[in-house]
Chain A
Amino acid sequence: MNKKLSMVLAAVLWGLAGSALAAKAEVIIDHTGKLMDHGDGHLMNMEGAMIMGQNKDKLPPGCSSISEERSIEVHAGHEYARQFPGTMFGFSSHEWRVKPCTKLTVTLVNEDRIRHQWMMHGLPKFMYDKGMFHLEVTGPGKITGTMILPAEDKTYMVHCDIAQHMEKGMKAQLIVGNGSSPFPSIPGVTDLAIPDDYGPKVADSVKLPTPVAASSSAASVQSSGSGNAVFLLGVIIGAVGTPFGLTYYRKRFEGMTRDEIIHYLLNSSKSTFDKVLGLIMTLVAKFSRK
């Protein structure tokens, strides 16, 4: 290459690098038409956009024909965490319902400037590699894929599998027919299986309370809170445990005469008495030495 030309090129790369990449491209690039088909429903391009498990024509077992053609558009990004406090990423919708044997076309519109996914699990593995249908695109960008759902009533989990994206809001479900049991921790749909502990409630106040008062009131709230919990635990153990305790002692005393039972009880109380006495003696010894 001509040396001078290359120097100019270098200068351009060096100089424009930042502006070229940093320019806030608001245009959402559609990657769908630019993918390379790798076979087996796997399409991809060099910008990292991909579809896995694409199926436009193979009927799953149990479907004699396609019942319905549906299209959904799902937006993904930080913006969709707005309505679910405590999350960081989200989908524009977290639940979809379709008929069995639907030919479903999904468009994932990623509004962030990182990768996001619309990954669905639980499809028949002999038709869909790893039982997955998967859309992935780095934003701002979008991608569209199609699959045909089996005849079975089933609820499929949909998520973004990037570490912590599902946990922090990108979890949804696709309900086919009457569906099956729902998944936990879907924003706005189901509760967290493991709820967060927000600690004792601190009153919002314009006037800041003195730190001492605040901390002592917080402490008292906490202790009474945990006291109630322990009391409740006691109630539960008592109510549930009593029948077991009764059975245990019934079994233990089974076949014993009244005298034997009394003897047993006396023996155990004697050993307890001995232990208490021993403890007192040690304490006395310690005390008198002083």
Chain B
Amino acid sequence: MPRHQLALITALLLPFYALDAGAVFTAPTTAKVASGQAEPFCNSGAPPEWRKAQEVEGVWMQESRVCNPDNPNDIAAFVKGTNNISMQTLMDTSNLAADAITATNDLDGDGDPDHYIIKLEIMEVNGHSPDFPGVVPTFDIAPGIQPSFWVFVPKNRDMSTRSFASGEANPLLRMPSPPIRVEQGDVVWLVVENSHYFPHSIHLHGVDHPFMDHAGEGNDGVGQTSQMDIMPGQSKTYVIKPRQPGTMYYHCHVQPHTHIAMGLAGMFIIEENRPNNWPQVFNVGAGQVRHPSVGVMEQYKQEYDLHYQSVDKELHQIPQSANDVRLVAKKMNQEYDITESTDDYYLLNGRAFPYTLRESLIVINPNEKTKIRVLNGHQDPMALHIHGHKATETHYDGVLQNPAAQVTRDVYALAPAQRLDLALDSTNDGLHSFGSGLWMFHDHTERAFTTNGQGEGGSISLLAYKDFVDENGNLKVSHTMDLKPYFTREFWERKIPVWQDFMDDWGSLGAPSGTMDTKPGINAGATEASAQAAAAGVSGDGTGGGLLGGLGLGVALYFAYQHRERLIRQVKALLPKSNG
């Protein structure tokens, strides 16, 4: 273009811009983004009496000051076995099968059973449905977040959901796979009934078990060296008589790089042998052990299980992407590449913040000792930190550290699959504890306190002194920021400016108007649809043209249909001409 023409155009356009030149630029005002519908802090629906210290079927259990406590009937069944409780108690459990735990034979006459038959099933939560777009049965790790998981579960009866009307998984059917407790020296038959649609197994990591059982079957759970995997519809019994106590680990050893990550992993604890010692066989959902073993109670007031896990959302979306089991297998085994994976969600006992606050609080009094067992279920090392406390590392991988060499510190390193036992002393001496409070504890690997990269989420939870949490597990947090946004879906969908309500009444850290949807809860469906349409419109070469061409044809078809009579007449008029 010749220069003088360019100048001419510029000169012509100048007046348009000159009009604005006098005004000073003002940034957009702050728009208030509606915060969305917040769930209540506690909506577990658990009867308040479930939280109290009590006795069911002669089984004592400690108070559980959390929103979502374990069902006391479940605890009774887990301690005595489903064979030693009344039919009414069994019916009042959360769908536990009659043959879930059979505890018999006090062989050494010390007042407790020495032969356990423990039955596990394998189930999928947040799985695919060919009937509707949602997932079944549901297990939310945080508001609106439902990755699929595979879990070992105590053998169930009846429905997988809470009721026919509800799509929510029954309380036994959840992440993580439950910690299992047995007594040192007991004969344990661990029966795995593979009710899932893929092959699985159990490898008893760190648990004393013979390589082959006495019947000549492999007992190590490894398909390549031990025994063929357990096929869908089949079952296998692992036989153990563990000689050493400690915090161990169990997990599926079929395609372990995906199966462990999918959730087929849990803690396995061998309690020290004591007279009249009835360990709580399952601790569903991990967290507080309401009936600690005799050995633990000798030294501690309470006991907690902490199972840390992480989720790559791409992996956990695979079972939701198809119904045909062969397609799911292909995507899992041949298309998913763990070496290119990144973790998106971080879980403590199956949930991410703020849901961790409903069930994974550690609730203590001053001047007490609490035993905390930790399992690192991540692919990466973790660095647990408890605010305001320095606990003592007593065991690594279930083995007692030399008491003279036990370390007291405030960051605890755990390699993947590693277990650590901590002794937490709440004596306010400025070393072990800094006093009463609501002290956060979390993996100090910073990404672990995010959910899909947004904070504060992930696996954070709280060490709560009793004067900061009421009998029903509600936190006394009137002095803190409002936790409501964390209980909305929109917050986790990144639709709410994190600091909009923090500063002042004019929202100086809110969203500039025009940069965010101000009613995300209402428009969510519409924006998704338009985003999809937009994506469809610009997806690659030629498809845009295809859309336009199609549009043209569609419009033409419409008019053709509207004026079909005239068209037919004209065509008819043409026909004889061509014939003639």
- Which chain A residues border B561 with CB–CB below 8 Å? 239
Does B467 sit at the interface, judged by CB under 8 A? no
Question: Restricting to A1-59, which residues have a CB under 8 Å from any CB of B?
Answer: 1, 3, 6-7, 9-10, 13-19, 21-22, 36, 38, 44-48, 50, 52
Q: List the B side residues contacting A134 at CB < 8 Å.
A: 158
Kindly identify, within residues 24 to 44 of chain B, every residue whose CB is under 8 Å from any CB belonging to chain A. none
CB-CB under 8 A from B550, the residues of chain A are: 230-238
Nearest-CB residue, chain A, relative to B238: A18
CB distance from A23 to the nearest CB of B (A): 8
**Does residue A262 face the partner (Cβ distance < 8 Å to B)?**
no
Q: Is B58 on the interface with A (CB-CB < 8 A)?
A: no
**Interface membership of chain A positions 147-172, coded 1 if the CB is closer than 8 angstroms to chain B and 0 otherwise:** 00000000000000111110110000
Task: Give A104 Cβ to nearest chain B Cβ, in Å.
Answer: 20
- Does B214 lie within 8 Å of A16, measured CB to CB? yes
CB-CB contacts below 8 Å: A168-221 with B: 168, 184-185, 192-198
Bound Cα distance from A223 to B545, whole angstroms: 13
Partner of A163, one of B99, B114, B124, B214: B124
With A9-B105, A78-B232, A162-B123 as given contacts, are A47 and B98 in contact (CB-CB < 8 Å)?
A: yes
A272 at the interface (CB under 8 A from B): no
B325 touches A168 (CB 8 A): yes
Contact segment of A62-70, A81-89, A93-101, A253-261: A81-89
Do A18 and B237 form a contact, CB below 8 Å, given A196-B327, A227-B546? yes
Q: B290-298, B428-436, B552-560: which lies at the A interface?
A: B552-560
Size of the chain A interface, CB-CB below 8 angstroms: 82
Question: Is A266 part of the binding interface, using a Cβ–Cβ cutoff of 8 Å?
Answer: no
Residue of A47, A114, A239 near B558 (CB, 8 A) is A239
A-B contact sample (17 more), CB < 8 A, given A9-B105, A21-B237 = A1-B106, A14-B187, A18-B216, A38-B91, A47-B99, A50-B158, A85-B324, A86-B324, A86-B325, A89-B233, A185-B131, A196-B130, A234-B546, A238-B550, A238-B552, A238-B553, A274-B16
Per-position binary interface string of chain B over residues 266-283, scored 1 when its CB falls under 8 Å from any chain A CB and 0 otherwise:
000000000000000000
Do the beta carbons of B558 and A138 come within 8 Å of each other? no
- Say yes or no: B132 contacts A194, CB within 8 Å: yes
Could you tell me if B323 and A86 are in contact, using CB atoms closer than 8 angstroms?
yes
Q: Are A22 and B236 in contact (CB under 8 A)?
A: yes
Please, what's the 1-or-0 string for B388-402, where 1 marks a CB less than 8 Å from any CB in chain A?
A: 000000000000000
Distance from B181 Cβ to chain A, minimum over Cβ atoms (Å): 19
Q: Are A198 and B327 also in contact (CB < 8 A) when A163-B125, A234-B548 are?
A: yes
**A235 near B557 (CB under 8 angstroms)?**
yes
CA gap between A165 and B232 in the complex, in Å: 11
A269 in contact (CB, < 8 A): no
User: Which one of A130, A138, A288 lies within 8 Å of B164 (CB-CB)?
Assistant: A130
Please give the distance in Å from B205's CB to the nearest CB on chain A: 20
Interface pair A243/B558, CB less than 8 Å apart? yes
Looking at the complex, which of B191-199, B501-509, B518-526 is the stretch in contact with chain A? B191-199
Contact A235 B237 (CB under 8 A): no
List the A side residues contacting B127 at CB < 8 Å.
163-164, 167
| B514 is an interface residue with CB less than 8 A from chain A | no
User: Does B565 belong to the interface (CB within 8 Å)?
Assistant: no
Q: Once the chains are docked, how many angstroms separate the CA of A132 from the CA of B161?
A: 14
Classify chain B's interface size.
35 or more
A168 close to B197 (CB less than 8 A): yes
Can you list 5 A-B contacts with CB-CB less than 8 angstroms, sorted by A residue number?
A3-B109, A14-B239, A87-B325, A134-B158, A161-B159
Picked from B160, B547, B554, the residue with its CB within 8 Å of the CB of A239 is B554
Q: How far apart are B157's CB and chain A's nearest CB, in angstroms?
A: 6
Are B107 and A6 in contact, CB atoms less than 8 angstroms apart? yes
> Counting CB contacts under 8 A, is B549 at the interface?
yes
Chain A window 100-129, contacts with chain B (Cβ cutoff 8 Å), 1 for yes, 0 for no: 000000000000111100010100000000
Given the complex, which residues of A lie within 8 Å of B213, measured CB to CB? Answer: 17-18
Question: Residues of B with Cβ closer than 8 Å to A?
Answer: 6, 9-10, 13, 16, 82-83, 87, 91, 97-99, 105-109, 114-115, 121, 123-125, 127-133, 136-137, 155-161, 163-164, 169, 173, 187, 189, 191, 193-197, 213-217, 219, 231-237, 239, 241, 322-327, 536, 539-543, 546-559, 561
A240 at interface by CB-CB < 8 Å: yes
Give the CA-CA distance A152 to B541 in the complex, in Å.
57
- Write out the residue numbers on chain A whose beta carbons fall within 8 Å of the beta carbon of B196: 164
Minimum CB–CB distance for A234 against chain B, Å: 2
Taking a contact as CB atoms under 8 Å apart, the answer to whether B160 and A161 are in contact is: yes
Least CB distance, A152 to chain B, in whole angstroms: 19
Q: Would you call A72 an interface residue if the criterion is a C-beta within 8 Å of the partner chain's C-beta atoms?
A: no
Residue numbers in A under 8 Å from B551 (CB-CB): 234-235, 237-238
Please determine whether A277 and B13 come into contact, CB atoms closer than 8 angstroms: yes
Residues in B with CB closer than 8 Å to A113 are: 193, 233-235
Chain A's closest residue to B126 (CB) is A163
Chain A residues with Cβ below 8 Å from B232 are 78, 88-89
Nearest-Cβ distance from residue B332 to partner chain A, whole angstroms: 14
B194 touches which of A10, A15, A114 (Cβ 8 Å): A114
B156 to chain A, nearest CB (A): 8
Assess the A10–B107 pair: CB atoms within 8 A. yes
Residue of A nearest to B16 (CB): A274
Which residues of A are found within 8 Å of B159, using beta-carbon distances?
119, 161
Instruction: Give the residues in chain A near B239, CB-CB below 8 Å.
Output: 14, 17-18
Nearest to A165 among chain B residues (CB) is B195
A185 & B130 in contact (Cβ 8 Å cutoff): yes
Q: How far is the CA of A165 from the CA of B216 in the complex (A)?
A: 32
Complex formed: what's the CA distance from A115 to B119 in Å? Answer: 12
CB contact under 8 A between A230 and B189, given known A13-B105, A238-B557, A239-B557: no
Contact B130 A194 (CB under 8 A): yes
Which residues of chain A come closer than 8 Å to B539, judged between CB atoms? 226, 230
- The yes or no answer to A242 lying at the interface (CB within 8 A) is yes
Residues of chain B within 8 A of A6, CB atoms compared: 107-109
Minimum CB distance partner of A185 in chain B = B130
| Alpha-carbon gap, A140 to B187, bound state (A) | 25
Q: A48-B99, A50-B157, A115-B193 are in contact. Are A230 and B546 (CB under 8 A)?
A: yes
CB distance from A177 to the nearest CB of B (A): 23
Residues of B within 8 A of A241 (CB): 554
Which chain B positions have C-beta within 8 A of A132?
164
Residue among A114, A121, A167, A284 facing the most chain B CB atoms (10 A cut-off): A114
Q: Which residue of B lies closest to A50 (CB)?
A: B157
Give every chain B residue within 8 A of A232 (Cβ-Cβ): 550
Bound-state CA distance A184–B324 (Å) is 15
Q: Which chain B residues lie closer than 8 Å to A184 at the CB level?
A: 130-131
Given A22-B215, A22-B236, A163 and B123 contact (CB-CB distance below 8 Å): yes
B131 in contact with A14 (CB, 8 Å): no
- Could you tell me the distance between the alpha carbons of A54 and B20 in the complex, rounded to whole angstroms? 83
| Contact between B322 and A196, CB atoms less than 8 A apart | yes
Asked if A77 is an interface residue, CB under 8 A from chain B, the answer is yes
* A21 surroundings in chain B (CB, below 8 A): 189, 191, 237
Residue of A165, A242, A274 with highest tally of chain B CB at under 10 A: A242
Cβ of B421 to closest chain A Cβ, rounded Å = 28
The answer to whether B323 and A19 have CB atoms under 8 Å apart is: no
Choose among B9, B13, B553 the residue that contacts A234 (Cβ–Cβ < 8 A): B553
B213 nearest CB neighbor, chain A only: A18
Residue of A whose beta carbon sits closest to that of B188: A17
Contact at B121–A45, with CB atoms within 8 Å?
Answer: no
Q: Is there an interface contact between A112 and B131, defined as CB atoms closer than 8 Å?
A: no
